[in-house]
Amino acid sequence: MTRAIGRLLHVEASPRGGRSRSASVARRLISGLTGVQVERLGLFEADLPELDGPVIEGRYALIAGDPVGEAVRGDWDAIREKTAHFLSFDAWLFSVPMWNFGIPYRLKHYIDLITQPGMTFSVVDGEGRGHAAGRSALIVASGALDVRPDGPLAGFDFQRAYLESWLRFIGVSAIHTIHVRPTYGPEDVVEAAMATAYAEAEALAASLCLPERV
């Protein structure tokens, strides 16, 4: 059972602002959601603390069941705060361009920050347990190439495939992905890809706003 979406975090992973194709499709999806409170997190403007040597040792301490070292306690308070902020939402909308077959580095940095033992996941009797269970994620994935599953270029997808794997790791089971691709090529082809993505965004928003069956 997936929980109803009251609060949604829009994680924007393109630095292109108003020119971003993925963000533009995400905004269309948001405009179709009724009764949902949306917060935007622009990752290229966000303050993302460094995960350098001493800070990362804190993760190994946590995994061993020890407290993080005194010198990095402030860094870990900031990480805990980012993680709690992320988990305070009912659902997440990621608008993400493909960069070099994967995701933009700022999104990877954010994922590395918030994916921490005892915060977003736990290991119980050797089994991983995600703390985001029962919630949903919406992905708007753009790219110059058409790397959709089942297509001839599917093997180049380390963007949607990675994001979906990570979301499942932290417990998210309901994942809806909209492709915005190809965004490079003849104008009519790109326009058709945008029109399809906008239509899918509107349909997804409408389906998410359907009343729960009793």
Ligand X SMILES: Cc1cc2nc3c(=O)[nH]c(=O)nc-3n(C[C@H](O)[C@H](O)[C@H](O)COP(=O)(O)O)c2cc1C
97 belongs to the binding site for ligand X (CB under 6 A) = yes
Q: Where are the beta strands (DSSP E) in 13-90?
A: 37-42
21 belongs to the binding site for ligand X (CB under 6 A) = yes
Q: List the one residue from 107, 143, 197, 201 that touches ligand X (CB under 6 A).
A: 143
Of 150 and 212, nearer to ligand X (C-beta) is 150
Instruction: Please state the closest distance from residue 12 (CB atom) to ligand X, in A.
Output: 9
**7-12 and 37-42 beta bridge pairing:** parallel
In contact, 41 and 49? CB cutoff 8 Å: no
- CA distance linking residue 52 with residue 16, whole number of Å: 27
Cis peptide bond upstream of 182, omega within 30: yes
- CA distance linking residue 190 with residue 29, whole number of Å: 19
Residue type, 151: G
In contact, 131 and 119? CB cutoff 8 Å: yes
Of 15 and 69, nearer to ligand X (C-beta) is 15
22: part of which helix (H) or strand (E)? helix 21-31
Of 30 and 132, nearer to ligand X (C-beta) is 30
Stretch that binds ligand X, among 15-23, 35-43, 65-73, 203-211 (CB under 6 A): 15-23
183 belongs to the binding site for ligand X (CB under 6 A) = yes
Of 48 and 190, nearer to ligand X (C-beta) is 190
58 belongs to the binding site for ligand X (CB under 6 A) = no
Instruction: Please state the closest distance from residue 194 (CB atom) to ligand X, in A.
Output: 10
Q: Mark 185-202 as b/e (b = at least 16 C-beta within 10 Å).
A: eeeeebeebbeebbebbe
27 belongs to the binding site for ligand X (CB under 6 A) = no
Binding to ligand X by CB under 6 A, coded x per residue (else -) over 98-137, reads xxxx------------------------------------
Instruction: Please state the closest distance from residue 20 (CB atom) to ligand X, in A.
Output: 4
- CA distance linking residue 181 with residue 147, whole number of Å: 8
Residue ranges that bind ligand X, judged by CB under 6 A: 14, 16, 20-23, 97-101, 142-145, 183
